[in-house]
Amino acid sequence: MGDNVIKTKSRDFAIDIIRAYQWLCEEKHEYVMSKQVLRAGTSIGANVAEGVRAQTKPDFYAKMSIALKEASETSYWLDIIHATDYLPDEMFNDLNDKCEELLSILTAITKNQHK
């Protein structure tokens, strides 16, 4: 069940990130930081999808750990883009809340690797 939740949430988040990237390019003409958040934000779900299909537990945890690192990077870029006034408060708050939720879930998953 946990795998399906993280897979669904990370996929939905990737879609939100893609839409934010499109908005940043079209409305704010911002192409550098938005590309960073696009890459990191969509990589979370890609790594989760690979991890869900992993053949071994170590491979599963390796992919989930990478997803966690990508979520951390996404959080960083969201903060920077918001702090430089490219991302409005409402959009930032929505994306940041979802990113924090992914961070919490992925942290819980990766903590279990040592059990």
Which two structure tokens, joined as six digits, stand for 62? 């390796």
Please say if the pLDDT value at position 102 is more than 50.
yes
Distance CA 91, CA 79 (A): 11
Mean pLDDT of 64-77: 98
Mean pLDDT of 85-107: 98
Whether the model clears a pTM of 0.85, i.e. scores above it, the answer is yes
Percent of the chain with pLDDT over 90: 93
Q: Which domains does the chain have, with CATH numbers?
A: 2-110 (1.20.1440.60)
Please say if the pLDDT value at position 1 is more than 70.
no
Mean pLDDT of 66-90: 98
> Which of 97, 74, 78 shows the shortest CA–CA distance to 88?
78
